[in-house]
Chains A and B, each alone.
Chain A
Amino acid sequence: GQQVMQIPQYQHVQEGEDFTTYCNSSTTLSNIQWYKQRPGGHPVFLIQLVKSGEVKKQKRLTFQFGEAKKNSSLHITATQTTDVGTYFCAGPPGGGADGLTFGKGTHLIIQP
């Protein structure tokens, strides 16, 4: 089935530094979604990207979808302690199946 690779697995930053996580697929994705999971919590939808080369912004978060629709990135500017958590990318499983195929996530740890 579809595989979505995500790096890095862990990222330690000082509060105020920027953070980026990358998502790569071996096949073209019709769309990609990003979710955030706080420690002990459940995933919460952040955004969906559909168009080739699409860039969307939510305050300090910038999401990009690659031109070939095989990769995506999430960039956070000037991290805050509220950004702590695990960020997942997710795409369609392929083969006409339903549901989402999730990357393993990037754990963002912020040191004050």
Chain B
Amino acid sequence: DGGITQSPKYLFRKEGQNVTLSCEQNLNHDAMYWYRQDPGQGLRLIYYSQIVNDFQKGDIAEGYSVSREKKESFPLTVTSAQKNPTAFYLCASSILAPHRAMNTEAFFGQGTRLTVV
């Protein structure tokens, strides 16, 4: 059964702690993304990666870090430097678009709801 798996579904973090959110895909997609969603808001891009061992900052990368050591995996670490980390985090993947500035269908995981306690 192909798709994107995010874990855990719910995560609680104490202030000052780093936490890592997992994202795995078996769709053989080159591109992977992390988005943050706040209540009543759209999705904002945190980081993206188009190829193994390379990734780029999105619109709100401060306080986050990522790695892309394998094509299938794109974990996101929420560091203590992120001032307001409580949010719904969505991982997505897609095939690479044939042309710059074009997009392809993004497939999303079920999301991880992070709460700082």
Q: Which residues of A contact B (CB under 8 A)?
A: 1, 6, 9, 30-31, 33, 35, 41-45, 48, 50, 88, 90-94, 96-105, 107
Contacts and interface: CB of A to CB of B under 8 A. Distances in A.
Contacts of A92: 101-103
A101 B100 contact: no
B108 A30 contact: no
Interface of B: 31, 33, 35, 40-45, 48, 50, 56, 58-59, 90, 99-103, 105-111
A68 to B, nearest CB: 16
Given A42-B109, A45-B105, A48-B105, A104 B41 contact: yes
A45 B102 CA distance: 15
A43 B105 contact: no
B26 to A, nearest CB: 17
Nearest to A32: B103
B101 A96 contact: yes
Contacts of B43: 43, 88, 90, 100, 102
A100 B41 contact: no
A18 to B, nearest CB: 24
Given A30-B102, A90-B43, A101-B45, 7 more contacts: A44-B108, A92-B102, A93-B45, A98-B48, A98-B56, A99-B58, A102-B42
Contacts of A1: 59
A1 B99 CA distance: 19
Contacts of B99: 30
Given A96-B100, A98-B48, A99-B33, A42 B41 contact: no
Please give me the 5 A-B residue pairs with the lowest Cβ-Cβ distance, nearest first.
Answer: A102-B42, A42-B108, A104-B42, A102-B43, A99-B45
Contacts of B103: 30-31, 33, 48, 90-92, 100
B66 to A, nearest CB: 13
A88 B42 contact: yes
Contacts of A103: 42
